[in-house]
Amino acid sequence: MKKNILIFGAGLNQLTLIDATKELGLTSIVIDPFDDAPGKNLADYFYRVDGNDYETTKKIAIQHNVAGIVTSQMEKPMRLMAKLAQDLNFIFHAPNVVEKSLDKWLMKQSFLNNNVPCANGILVDGEKYITSDQLVNFRFPLIIKPKAATSSQGVYKVNNLEEINNYKNVTEKFSANSEVIIEEFLEGPEFSVEAITYCGKTNIVQITEKFITPFPRTVEMGHLQPAELNAEQKKEIYKVVIEAINSIGIDNSASHTEVKLTQDGPKIVEIGARLGGDYISSYLTLHSCGVNMDKAAIQVALGEEPDLTPTLKQCSYIKYFELPVGKKVKKIEKWTDILETEDVVFANIAVREGDIIEEITESKKRPGFVIVKGFSRTDVIDKAVFFEEKLKQKIILGYI
């Protein structure tokens, strides 16, 4: 009999995860808060379930006798998944591991307590103003960010005390109880590390180079695989990433670790106890090294050793684009024929007719992207720029 697996989420980021169940000969039971989720028609069984509806989720899992639970880059369902795993004996993180992966302050304490290189920081809890006395052990520039948030929400590089207090009002809106973290700014290029840990052993699948907006914001606008690093740099990064994974307690799971390569060596920024977002662990990894991390995550969730054998050695790149702020989207012409182009892996236009283009202050405000593959770094960068312009030409803008 085919095994059933419960997938949390049916958004664009979950399409490859749902597809992977078919390739593995499994039956996909998919839940999502939205009835029109893009992955609905790919699922063998689809249910619209509110994100915090534990009882309905549990009922569906029992009804279908599911053998495991899995999600991709989504963090919102992880607490519910941990509880479900405890109640029904699925392979998933323990609740304390989930908390350390979602709460950036608990995460930082885990790093520091286990001597994992990272930025030092302080937690500011609901105070009206931050004073210089609180920052006596720090030097500018610094980073201010929410204690718990995603998608670069409320994260800013600050150069003085005035900027901290100006941005604090924005940052605390993205964090429960208005708690924010102020930490060292780590100087150096940033990377993410895609890994799978199975039965206590971590395999690094790929290292991704990251491109962000100009400071003070830190919104991710591109990811390229593989990162341009020498053997020694990779070795150093592998070491600190595995230390970080162990410090949080991640096991039998994918992970996505953000790292800065500083003058003092690699230092951990944050870690996610799940697959990487922005299509990094799905399309990018598959088309750069041939490893299907969606399949691997499912195999681990079922207690099976994952297949992490590289079969390719090429490049992949996702480039998010910008549009003129304040303009109105008058019309979007047919653009999906771009998906039939051999070099284009995937693409999307996120804005709709009638939308007003906003400044990109967080990930969800990016108006679209293109993912390309090629045989060199220069090749994929050139292709991404070319197809980005083609997409943007399909978006007809005007004045409000």
Whole-structure pTM value: 0.94
Q: How many CA atoms lie within 13 A of 24 on its CB side?
A: 26
**Residue among 73, 142, 164, 150 nearest 104 (CA):** 150
For tokens 């720090």, the residue is 138
Are 278 and 220 in contact by the 8 Å Cβ rule? The answer is yes
Under DSSP, is residue 16 helix (H, G, I), strand (E, B) or coil? helix
Does 60 share its domain with 124? no
**Residue among 383, 367, 386 nearest 320 (CA):** 367
The pLDDT tens digits of the residues spanning 269-320 come to 999 999 999 999 999 999 999 999 999 999 999 999 999 999 999 999 999 9
Does 87 share its domain with 199? no
Are 207 and 191 in contact by the 8 Å Cβ rule? The answer is yes
Does 305 share its domain with 369? no
The pLDDT tens digits of the residues spanning 58-105 come to 999 999 999 999 999 889 999 999 999 999 999 999 999 999 999 999
Per-residue pLDDT, averaged over 232-249, amounts to 98
Residue 357 is given by DSSP the state P
C-alpha 113/C-alpha 54 separation (Å) is 33
CA 278 to chain centre: 6
How many structural domains compose the chain? Answer: 4
Q: What is the CATH number of the domain that holds 141?
A: 3.30.1490.20
pLDDT band at 48 (very low <50, low <70, confident <90, very high): very high
C-alpha 96/C-alpha 82 separation (Å) is 9
Q: What is the CATH number of the domain that holds 44?
A: 3.40.50.20
Does 74 share its domain with 152? no
Q: How far is CA 258 from CA 209, 238, 255, 270, 277, in A?
A: 10, 12, 10, 5, 12
Structural domain boundaries enclosing 392: 316-398
Q: What is the CATH number of the domain that holds 227?
A: 3.30.470.20
Residue 172 has pLDDT above 90, yes or no: no
Does 193 share its domain with 153? no
Per-residue pLDDT, averaged over 165-184, amounts to 85
C-alpha 152/C-alpha 220 separation (Å) is 8
